[in-house]
Amino acid sequence: MAAGKGEADIVKARTDKREYRRIVLKNSLEALLISDPDTDKCAATMDVGVGSFSDPEGLEGLAHFLEHMLFYASEKYPLEDSYSKYITEHGGRTNAFTASEHTNYHFDVNTDCFEEALDRFAQFFIKPLMSADATMREIKAVDSENQKNLLSDAWRMNQLQKHLSMEGHPYHKFSTGNLDTLEVRPKARGLDTRLELIKFYEENYSANLMHLVVYAKENLDKIENMVEQKFQDIQNADRSCFRCPGHPCTPEHLQILVRAVPIKEGHKLRIVWPITPEILRYKEGPCRYLGHLVGHEGEGSLFYILKTLGWATGLSAGETDWTLDFSFFKVVIDLTEAGHEHMQDIIGLLFKYIRLLQQSGICKWIFDELSAICETKFHYQDKTPPADYVVNIASNMQIYPPHDWLVGSSLPSMFNPGTIERVLEELSMDNVRIFWESKKFEGHTDMFEPWYETPYSVEKITCSMIQEWVLGAPNENLHLPAPNVFIPTDLSLKNAQEVKFPVLLRKSSRSRLWYKPDTRFSTPKAYVKMDFNCPHAGNSPEAEVLTDIFTRLIMDYLNEYAYDAQVAGLYYGINHIDCGFQVTLVGYNHKLRALLETVLEKIAIFKVKADRFSVIKEMVTKEYQNVKFQQPYQQAMYYCSLILQDHTWHWMEELEVLPHLEAEDLAKFAPVMLSRAFLECYIAGNIESSEAESMVQHVEDVFFSGSNPICQPLFSSQHVTNRVVKLERGMSYFYSAEGLNPNDENSALVHYIQVHRDDFLLNVKLQLFALIAKQPAFHQLRSVEQLGYITVLVQRNDSGIHGVQFIIQSTAKGPGNIDLRVEAFLKTFESKIYEMTDDEFKNNVNTLIDMKLEKYKNLREESGFYWREIYNGTLKFDRKESEVAALRKLTQKELIDFFNDYIKVGAPQRKSLSVGVYGNLHSSEYTADASEPGPYSVKIDNIFSFRRSQPLYGSFRGVSGHVKL
């Protein structure tokens, strides 16, 4: 019988209408039950208090490998991958991850089949089947996952920090695992990895180390009965919780300056201190307080000074890699070329700022301000998808007492200056580790990190050396931030009339305003999008790059003023889009208008500051240079888009023009870009219609009014379109390219099938095919054939042109061979569509209907859907209802006919495009594949020649709804 019922002491948000209950089963499994009668999805997660820190010596990655293996099959449900198949076929998703001290398994699914899904899930923790056949295949999957990470700077630098710690400490370990650690080395020692895996499971997966969260539609009593029945048979071996043996850094690992060579262009400083974990004093929030100040970007902050000096383009600060036994405080600074040359000055300024914090004392008003921001954020938090919600809570259950399971450490409420001072004292010169990354260190290092082969060197530094850096640093006016004027104080809800879909509130030759008040989410938040459609913004590679720099400069100029808005929960962005630029504001509506007016003013009075232009140009240049270090599958997706989307420029052309652009070029370009514009606006949330109209009127007044207006309305011929290449029926096209990074062994293929221009009936046929084929494709191509860790089948929508694509990254096979495997899968899948029973077909249709009728969780999610309709020009706000109506009438024969016409290999209407990126393991295949196109295929040699020779689909945008002039 369960014990410890009740939710009375679980702290929950004021706006949270869900019910909670904590129970403990007789096997000591602790669970949190959540009842939400309004949910469209049910979810569950099991968090096991065992992670990579528990890997046995010489079997690095075993905990991660177990996470991969556990979901294959169980004694009760022995068919391999039947769990994933069941979840996918019922509108859900499943995943897992391995952390240092815990491993998390989770899923969500449509509500009507939750009980069976939960039963299948529970069996993995009762009697999993880890077959010998699956073991070797999944070791290859773990190895493929590791291959994906080998050229990632984030993974490399993280492992380097771990490497430079005490060898016997679990923090020092390599956590992911690979073929070497899970097969080659164990075999050489006479170990059977599968037996070791089973032993690890039996010794560590004990009910008393598990925390379960179940999120369902039923009432708490029903959920409790379900949980008791399904999880009470998990064995309780009464294992003790893993604890680390103190801090991983001894004196030899402190006071060091590590120079490391990254993969990507750019320079970075990571300054790290071992500290007392905040978790021990989470109500007092010492790291939150210090991270807020050290990472601040307002006037007088460390970042503000570094930015003013032209030395940094980004800075973040806070606690990282924390456990109950050790933790680190980390400051990460993105450096400019000039900043790289002033590393010592930057470290000096950082320690000057730390000294300022010590001398200023711990300020109660700053703590109170932070506390107020956190409290508002918690009580007005957006509802998130159940799967994400339960994962977050389950992680909290391992650490916090039950009353704080929903809160975690997000509500610092106890002001204790002594606690903050103690952590501040730990940010000292004799406790520091400095990691300095730059490609300029190439050839000047003398060591390699063993797992990722990152070149590095270590130099001991002393307090007196750092003291000299402090004395030599510029004498700048560092000071604490001013009170935050953007903290909302009016959280009242406006009276709004129920509106099902966005309404066209206002239109003119200058703008169009779509509006939807919030009557669903009851939060004091708003969502504002304003697209400046400017034909001159994208008519050449130079214009494209200058528009990009323009938007970044506006953000740069706003930063010290508007940073406080982001801290207070009002987010803003000015982004370059394919037809101009976009202004976005999302968050509390109280101070939104003031921020919007400042943003618009910065755009209207834009002047180029030469020093900031140089910094932004340098940053943009590095981003373009780093395109070549993208994952091969990302490169393949880029080429696919370049082939399909008319009026786009190659990144290499943009990189070519960059060096020649100067501040004067932007000064001349900006007025021309803004000279003609049309504003597409969407305003939603806790805002009245008169306020929305007033906002757009203000934009028009700023940009279109006066004797010498900044903007003129567009001519009828200038409205921006988004046209997509129309592939020829019965043809298969092939484009191949060598991987941009010669050191990357991975190859990739995107196999795209173009189907139709937006149409409700064809849409649902394509969606139903994708739903039915997704899991079999993953099982065959990833689990059985082991082509690669990244293996997905997804739908694709290019401005209303719909299709489907297989995306596969592999070291096992080259793109040509992968393409053959995709086509082989489609041939075998054909019989599955024919063999489907009436009940199976109806179940799949009902699953898709349930997915479509799923309610939006929050304003951002709802607005994202409506904005895509506006941005694409399709304007089908009733899309879900209309597609559900089409689905209800759909027959199995219609689906089979659709497959035979559009998807089947060799079908008369089939239009496919295969894009292959060849890594260095398959470079010899590149020449052969490129010179031997298969039957019915067209080899694309030049993307732009091909694009110019093809017909285009009509554009939805720039056609419907605009005012005729």
pLDDT digits (tens, 9 = 90+) for 539-589: 999 999 999 999 999 999 999 999 999 999 999 999 999 889 999 999 999
Q: Are residues 746 and 700 in the same domain?
A: no
149, 297: one domain: no
Residues 654-672 have a mean pLDDT of 97
SS3 content of the chain, % helix, strand, coil (to 5): 45, 20, 35
Query: Quick check: 963 pLDDT over 50?
Result: no
Between CA 353 and CA 761 the distance in angstroms is 62
The total of other beta-carbon atoms located within 10 Å of residue 843's CB is: 16
Q: How far is CA 467 from CA 254, 265, 311, 343, in A?
A: 16, 30, 20, 14
- Res. 965: pLDDT tops 60: no
CB burial of residue 659 (10 Å; 0-12, 13-18, 19+): exposed
Residues 648 and 754 in one domain: no
Residue 936 banded pLDDT, cuts 50, 70, 90: low
Determine the average pLDDT of the residues in 492-508.
93
Place of tokens 């978790």: 279
- 34 has pLDDT over 50: yes
Report pLDDT for 194: 95
Q: Same domain, yes or no, for 512 and 639?
A: yes
The residue-averaged pLDDT of 243-270 equals 95
pLDDT digits over 717-750, tens only?
999 889 999 999 999 999 999 999 999 999 999 9
* One domain, residues 829 and 911: yes
940 and 836 in a common domain: yes
**529 within a domain of the structure (yes/no):** yes
Q: Give the domain-ending residue among 232, 267, 295.
A: 232
Q: What is the mean pLDDT of the chain?
A: 95
Q: Are 876 and 930 found together in one domain?
A: yes
Span 384-405, pLDDT tens digits: 999 999 999 999 999 999 999 9
Which three-class secondary structure state does DSSP give residue 875? Answer: coil
On whether both 313 and 176 belong to a single domain, the answer is no
Q: Give pLDDT tens digits for 859-903.
A: 999 999 999 999 999 999 999 999 999 999 999 999 999 999 999
pLDDT at 1 over 60: no
Q: Give the CATH number, domain containing residue 314.
A: 3.30.830.10
3-class secondary-structure state, position 18: coil
H-helix or E-strand containing 922?
Answer: none
Residue 72 clears pLDDT 90, i.e. is over it: no
The answer to whether residue 244 sits within a structural domain is no
Same domain, 802 and 935: yes
Q: With b meaning 16 or more CB within 10 Å and e meaning fewer, what string describes 768-806?
A: bbbbbbbbbbbbbbbbebbbbbbbebebbebbbbbbbbb
Of 7, 30, 60, 67, catalytic = 67
What percent of the chain stands above pLDDT 90? Answer: 93
* pLDDT digit string, tens, across residues 74-117: 999 999 889 999 999 999 999 999 999 999 999 999 999 999 99
Instruction: Note whether 25 and 236 are within 8 A (CB).
Output: no
Which band of pLDDT confidence, cut at 50, 70 and 90, is reported for residue 933? low
**Beta-carbon count within 10 A of 132 CB:** 10
pLDDT reported for residue 5: 53
The answer to the question of residue 60 being in a domain is yes
Strands, sheet with 678-685, edge to edge from the N-terminal-most edge strand: 503-507, 511-517, 678-685, 525-533, 580-588, 570-577
Phi-psi region of 873 (alpha: psi -120 to 50; beta: other; left: phi over 0): left
Tokens of 660: 């020649």
Residue 215 has pLDDT above 80, yes or no: yes
- Six-digit token pair at 481? 């931030």
Provide the domain limits for residue 60. Answer: 4-232
Q: Are strands 937-939 and 731-738 parallel, antiparallel or unpaired?
A: parallel
| pLDDT of 796 higher than 50 | yes
In one-letter notation, the amino acid at residue 302 is L
Q: What is the pLDDT of residue 961?
A: 43
Mean pLDDT score, 677-702: 97
How confident is the model over 451-468, as pLDDT tens digits? 999 999 999 999 999 999
Structural domains counted in the chain: 4
Is 138 tagged catalytic?
Answer: yes
H-assigned helices in 232-273: none
Asked if the structure places residue 543 within a domain, the reply is yes
Cα 155 to Cα 402: distance, rounded to the nearest angstrom: 34
Q: Can you read off the two tokens belonging to residue 820?
A: 């053959």
Is 934 a domain residue?
yes
Residue 962 belongs to some domain of the structure? no
pLDDT at position 579: 87
Report pLDDT for 284. 97
pLDDT of residue 934: 59
Tell whether 9 is covered by a domain.
yes
* Residue spans of alpha helices (H) in 812-964: 815-835, 838-852, 859-872, 879-889, 892-898, 923-931, 943-949
Task: Assess whether 214 and 298 both reside in one domain.
Answer: no
Q: Among residues 518, 652, 659, 639, which one has the least CA distance to residue 589? A: 518
Beta strand 447-448 pairing with 455-460:
antiparallel
Catalytic residue among 7, 80, 89, 138: 138
- Inter-residue contact 785 to 673 (CB < 8 Å): no
Q: Is the predicted pLDDT of residue 236 greater than 70, yes or no?
A: yes
- Residue 113 near residue 90 (C-beta atoms within 8 A): yes
Residue 487 pLDDT more than 80?
A: yes
pLDDT greater than 80 at residue 964? no
pLDDT at 959: 64
Same domain, 419 and 345: yes
Same domain, 818 and 687: no
Burial group, residue 610, by CB count within 10 angstroms (0-12, 13-18, 19+): exposed
Query: d(Cα 62, Cα 495) in Å, to the nearest integer?
Result: 57
Asked whether residue 483 is domain-assigned, the answer is: no
CB–CB of 731/937 below 8 Å?
A: yes
What is d(CA 209, CA 103) in angstroms, rounded to the nearest whole number?
11
Give the model's confidence band at 927: pLDDT under 50 very low, under 70 low, under 90 confident, else very high.
Answer: confident
